Amino acid sequence: MTRLDVGEYIIAPDPGAARLTRAVTGTDHLGQPTDIRVVEERPLTIFLNSREIVTAMTIGDYPDYLALGFLRNQGMLGPEEEVTGVDFDDELDTVVVRTVRETSFEDKLSRKTRTSGCAVGTVFGDMMEGLDRVKLPATRVKTSELYALAHKINRTPSLYLEAGAIHGTVLCQGDRPLVYMEDVGRHNAVDKIAGWMFSERVAAGDKLLYTTGRLTSEMVIKTALMGIPVLASRSGFTAWGVEIARQVGLTLIGRMRGQRFVCLSGEERLVRDADVAAVPEEDGRYRRKGAGGA
């Protein structure tokens, strides 16, 4: 069984990129020397105009999309915001987003909430703001497309498969994966997707977001605020994530492995057109190394 040709993607992972991993020597369970590659993480400080907003721990790729997506998902950039520049300084590990409109978020910055993201994500105290105005389209989801997506994504060469200790998020349309982002925190990966969509002015109503991580409240909120009507994962749920998904009309699908999945919100929007008996079980070769802590 061969891995997917990444030419199908607009943006695909680059697990061989030198800056993303580091070779480390250790010993295995038998006491024998072993060499493995481990994921790098480095700080990235995001500025909005002249104001320092946050420092995130990240693998360091696509800093422009991460900054735009973080600011967009925190409500600091409006959907029609005119961005005049995104400047990344590799030596200082900073990225500055500049806008035509003057911005001031002192009150918002004073109210922070630490999230359950693996890399200790930070959102602000008014994280629920705007959810009551969200109206997601009742997009139908074919189970045949869900199975096809999982099959393709699980076979895509990635840091997730290569080194573990990382999460992936994939923007999809129908049965095609479009943009695959990875990072040490699932919140960073989804912010990179949001930044790409904001930069390219990509419509959200016909898209699906697939993640390798847990379906937490933050993931559900960000997906809903991005206007994406479907969120799917190979991992599990949190109760608050399910509650919010039902509140905003988000289709929420988890525990996607082989033939199996569980839908806890939006069941009425599923089109069960796949012959489940014909869907192969997940091949162990394409499970993340060290899986179990997703």
Residue 282: Cβ within 10 Å count: 17
H/E run at residue 141: strand 141-142
Six-digit token pair at 120?
């200790």
Q: What is the pLDDT of residues 178-217, one digit of tens each?
A: 999 999 988 899 999 999 999 999 999 999 999 988 999 9
Higher pLDDT, 52 or 281: 52
277 in the Ramachandran plot: left (φ > 0), alpha (ψ -120 to 50) or beta? alpha
Give pLDDT, residue 206.
97
Number of H helices, E strands in the chain: 7, 16
Give pLDDT, residue 116.
37
Q: What is the pLDDT of residues 42-57, one digit of tens each?
A: 999 999 998 999 999 9
Is residue 111 predicted with pLDDT exceeding 70? no
Give pLDDT, residue 293.
39
Six-digit token pair at 101?
């409109």
Buried b (16+ CB within 10 A) or exposed e, 102-132: ebeeeebbeeeeebbbbbebbbbeebeeeee
Residues 6+ positions from 182 with CB-CB distance below 8 Å: 13, 59, 61, 158, 159, 160, 166, 167, 168, 169, 189
Average pLDDT over residues 171-178: 96
CA dist 253 and 262 (Å) reads: 6
Is residue 15 predicted with pLDDT exceeding 90? no
The mean pLDDT value of the chain amounts to 86
Higher pLDDT, 125 or 280: 280
Residue 292's pLDDT band, with cuts at 50, 70 and 90, is very low
Give pLDDT, residue 182.
95
pTM, 2 dp: 0.87
Give pLDDT, residue 187.
87
Q: What is the pLDDT of residues 221-273, one digit of tens each?
A: 999 999 999 999 999 999 999 999 999 999 999 999 999 999 999 999 999 99
Average pLDDT over residues 90-99: 95
CA dist 214 and 35 (Å) reads: 29
Average pLDDT over residues 53-66: 94
Is residue 96 predicted with pLDDT exceeding 90? yes
Mapping DSSP to helix (H, G, I), strand (E, B) and coil, where does residue 167 land? strand
Six-digit token pair at 142?
């074919």
Angle at 157 between CA 154 and CA 161, to 5 degrees: 65
Q: What is the pLDDT of residues 117-156, one digit of tens each?
A: 444 445 544 556 678 888 899 999 999 999 999 999 988 9
